Amino acid sequence: MSIKHPQPRNDQPGTAKNPKGDVRTRLAEARAAEALRRRRRKGLIVGAAAVAVIVAGTGIGIAVQDSRTSSNAPYVAPANADGTVIVYGNPNAKNTLQVYEDFRCPICDELEKSAGPAIQALADNGTYKIEYHMATFLDGNLGGNGSAVALNAAAAALNESTAKFKAFHDELYANQPEETTDGFNSTAEMLKLAAKVPGLVTPAFTKAVQDNTYGQWVNKVSDAFNTSGVTGTPTLKLNGKQLNVFSASGVPVTQAQYTAVVDSALAGK
């Protein structure tokens, strides 16, 4: 099992070289290491600082950084969370869209910028509810804590309301840094982006961001993703069936194409 993201068109053979190609290659290699870590996860001792993976028969040791909050920190779950899942839309909607994301994932950002408004619109009109299943594996693969810091801040927004979470979620993707820079690993940056969401920055929100109040909850959310069986982000499932939201060459669907994909999936239920 490997962590794979759809590749954009200009990363395909025979086309112009993508200036980010080398970064994507390193990212793919890091995801492969993360996939191996997951396969070896059972029976390993997971420390707060790192996960050590020994490749059987090779003598090669792969160290994967782990940005988990210390187990000594108190567990606090944000209001409006459904366990480790974040539900947006009418919770009684008869259809469910499961969205698997990592805030540092550049391909998640590409899909968000392409089809994001349509994804939200179908939740807003009651076609389905969205269940967000968030990941932080890119922290482990690339080093740093940006995914976890962003998810803690998103949890602080969720504590205010699901609408505040969704608005902050969108701001994070609208301002996503290069995944290798760990630009989200900054409470100041989180507060700066939160200020773009009207009414979000309150004393309680600021304290939760600065104190990493929901760090232990972030750990549980990350664990849930790691055991979900999902092998890449973004992954979208409608009523449990994966949607194809990228072309064969890795281009994300447009809003109109996304709506058509959902309509077709629902018609075939």
Query: What's the confidence (pLDDT) of residue 268?
Result: 85
State pTM to two decimals: 0.76
Query: What phi, psi does 52 have (nearest 5°)?
Result: -100, 125
Q: What percent of the chain has pLDDT over 90?
A: 71
Is the pLDDT score of 78 beyond 60?
A: yes
Residue 51 and residue 37 in contact, taking contact as beta carbons nearer than 8 Å: yes
Q: What percent of the chain has pLDDT over 70?
A: 73
Contacts of 11 (CB under 8 A, 6+ apart): 18, 21, 24, 250
* Tokens at 177, concatenated: 């840094």
Query: What's the confidence (pLDDT) of residue 153?
Result: 98
Q: State whether the Cα torsion 84-88-89-94 is positive or negative.
A: negative
From residue 78, alpha-carbon distances to 11, 42, 214 in Å are 39, 28, 7
Contacts of 164 (CB under 8 A, 6+ apart): 157, 158, 197, 199, 200
Please tell me whether residue 187 adopts helix, strand or coil conformation.
helix
Query: Smallest Cα–Cα separation from 172: which of 188, 154, 159, 152?
Result: 154
Query: What's the confidence (pLDDT) of residue 68?
Result: 65
**CA–CA separation, 127 vs 166, rounded Å?**
17
Read out DSSP for 25-65? HHHHHHHHHHHHHHHT-TTPPPPSSEEEEEETTTTEEEEEE
pLDDT higher at 40 or 115: 115
Per-residue pLDDT tens digits for 231-258: 889 999 999 999 999 999 999 999 999 9
Query: Smallest Cα–Cα separation from 179: which of 204, 219, 157, 150?
Result: 150
Residue 32 and residue 2 in contact, taking contact as beta carbons nearer than 8 Å: yes
Residue 138 and residue 104 in contact, taking contact as beta carbons nearer than 8 Å: yes
Residue-range domains of the chain with CATH: 9-65 (no CATH), 81-267 (3.40.30.10)
| Residue 248: other Cβ atoms inside 10 A | 9
pLDDT bracket for residue 72 (50, 70, 90): confident
